[in-house]
Each structure stands twice: as C-alpha cells, then as structure tokens.
Amino acid sequence: MRMRAFRFKLERVLQVRRLQEDLQREAFWKAQRDLDDAKEYLRALQEEFVKYKELLRSRRSGEAEAHEVLSYERYLDYLHTAIERQRQVVDRLRAQLEEHRRALHEAVRKRQVLERLKERQEDAYRRYKNKVFQNFLDEVGSRTDLRREDICGM
C-alpha cells in the first residue's frame, strides 16, 4: 500500500506570496534607510545653522566689516530655507515609509493565510492517511483472525 505524498495545490501561489513579501520587505528597508539619511542631513544642516548663527553673533559684537556680516546673514537665510526643504523631504519620506509598512504588513498577512491553509490541508491529509493505514491494519488483523479460525476449525 503506497500513498502519494501531500501536494499543496496552491504552492506556486504561496511561493509568489513569499517573493512579494521579500520585495516589500526590501522596499521597506530602503525607505527606512532613505529616511534615516534624510534625518541625518537635516541634523547636519541644523548644526551648521547653529554654528553660523554663533559666528554671526560673535562678528556683530566684535569689529567685523559689513560685507562679512551680510555674507553670514545670507548664508543663514540659505540654511534656513534648506532646513525647511529638508523637513518637507523628511515628512514625505515618513509618509512613504508608512505606506511601505502597510504594504509589508499586507504581504505578510497574505502569505500567512496561505501557510495556514497549507498546514490545515497537511493535517487533514495526515489524518486521512492515518485512517487509511489504520483501516488497512484492521483488515490485515481481521484476515489473520479468519485464517486462525479456519486453521483451528473454530
């Protein structure tokens, strides 16, 4: 008595779902790295802004030429604008990261649904296989009893 091995009919779909999950995970981590890089750049801009603000303050209190002070003020204006733009970039990347997080969560959920279905089908197949085997053993046992009865004349 030989039974075929379990075969999940949706195995290819499950493989595709796993691949989709992997792709979503990669996209999520790329978005996370992009956000981290953008935050780091924003922090660097803010540090430079503070540094030049202090330099401007020290130039104003000392003897500095007007063109030098004006140059610092223009650079601070540029930095202020760059910081605001970078904040917008960070906000946009945060929103993208959240979209990727939701997509990854959905991909994981879809894969898990199929894996649970596969597990249930494997369990049902295993129970069926055990039942068939038990019936086979019962039949072999009853035939053995019949032979004994025939031999013993009972």
In this predicted model, what pLDDT tens digit does every residue of 72-105 receive, in sequence order?
899 999 999 999 999 999 999 999 999 999 999 9
Q: Does 60 map to a domain?
A: yes
Q: Does 72 map to a domain?
A: yes
Provide mean pLDDT across the span 33-43.
98
Q: How far apart are CA 58 and CA 69, in angstroms?
A: 10
DSSP the chain: ---PPP--TTHHHHHHHHHHHHHHHHHHHHHHHHHHHHHHHHHHHHHHHHHHHHHHHHHHHS---HHHHHHHHHHHHHHHHHHHHHHHHHHHHHHHHHHHHHHHHHHHHHHHHHHHHHHHHHHHHHHHHHHHHHHHHHHHHHHHHHHHHHHHT-
Give the CATH number, domain containing residue 96.
1.10.287.1700
**Most trustworthy range by pLDDT among 65-69, 128-132, 144-148:** 128-132
| Residue 139: predicted pLDDT | 85
Number of domains in the chain: 1
Q: Does 52 map to a domain?
A: yes
Q: Which domain holds residue 19?
A: 12-122
Environment class of residue 71 by beta-carbon count within 10 Å: exposed (0-12), middle (13-18) or buried (19+)? middle
Q: Does 3 map to a domain?
A: no
The closest of 48, 22, 42 to 92, measured between CA atoms, is 42
Please say if the pLDDT value at position 151 is more than 70: no
The pTM score is: 0.75
In this predicted model, what pLDDT tens digit does every residue of 105-137 receive, in sequence order?
999 999 999 999 999 999 999 999 999 889 888
Q: Does 4 map to a domain?
A: no
Please say if the pLDDT value at position 147 is more than 90: no
The closest of 42, 33, 26, 46 to 90, measured between CA atoms, is 42
| Residue 154: predicted pLDDT | 55
Percent residues over pLDDT 90 in the chain:
71
Please say if the pLDDT value at position 50 is more than 90: yes
Q: Does 152 map to a domain?
A: no
Q: How far apart are CA 129 and CA 127, in angstroms?
A: 5
Q: Does 150 map to a domain?
A: no
Q: Does 64 map to a domain?
A: yes
| Radius of gyration (C-alpha) of the chain in whole angstroms | 36
